[in-house]
Amino acid sequence: MITLGVDPGLTGAICALDSKGCVLLCEDLPIIRDGALKWVDSDALLSIILSVKSAGQEMSAVVERQSARPGQGVSSSFSIGTTFGSLLATIQIARASLQFCTAAKWKRDLGLSNDKNASIDKARLLFPIADLSLKKHHGRAEALLIAHWALNRRKIAEFSREVPEDSDIREWRKWKQGKQGATDV
């Protein structure tokens, strides 16, 4: 399973992690500009996504939820909607499952605030091989952290399904040993 993390927006990025959490891809979103109008280049983005997807391999995309905010201008809301819509359509065309998360949720779970520099620092610690050398790479950092957050939530969910709900840890270990033989847990 490949996990895509997507930080939408004109300064956003897309990153891909394999099931072990290794970085497969980390790039800024490709943007088309026509005067004042800007949107995601769907053709280029589809090529980026498909470059990491093997035949028959499952892919899950986790996208930070976007919405208009009070006091935000009409032009800005239209730009966010245009970018977000083209991004979602491209992910669906790539046949990746689609999930949404709020910035508040994933950042809280990772112990982060709204500070973009803190996101870059955390991503540099977790993914030292990723190209996060410039301040403008905050979109890449956040896309990596979204993918990391989603991958870890999936692992926790898989682990919790293995543990019987009404048992204490000793009973669970006996159960687990019986399931796997006499191996350590």
In the prediction, which pLDDT does 179 show? 63
Q: Which domain holds residue 127?
A: 2-180
Output phi, psi for 153, to 5 deg. Answer: -65, -40
Instruction: Give the tokens for residue 45.
Output: 């983005």
**Alpha-carbon span 81 to 67, nearest angstrom:** 8
CA distances from 161 to 61, 164, 167 (A): 22, 7, 13
Neighbour-count burial for 161-180, b at 16+ CB within 10 Å, e otherwise = eeeeeeeeeeeeeeebeeee
In a domain, 173, yes or no: yes
Strand partners, 39: 32
Residue 55 is assigned to a structural domain of this protein: yes
Helices (H), the chain: 42-50, 74-93, 103-109, 116-126, 138-162, 169-180
From 4-8, 36-40, 80-84, 109-113, the region with the lowest mean pLDDT: 80-84
In a domain, 11, yes or no: yes
- Domain with residue 134: its CATH number is 3.30.420.10
Q: What is the pTM of this model?
A: 0.80
185 within some domain: no
The separation between CA 167 and the C-alpha centre of its own chain, rounded to angstroms, equals 33
Summarised one tens digit per residue, pLDDT across range 120-178 is 999 999 999 999 988 889 999 999 999 999 998 887 776 666 555 554 566 666 666 77
Structural domain contains residue 121: yes
Domain count, the chain: 1
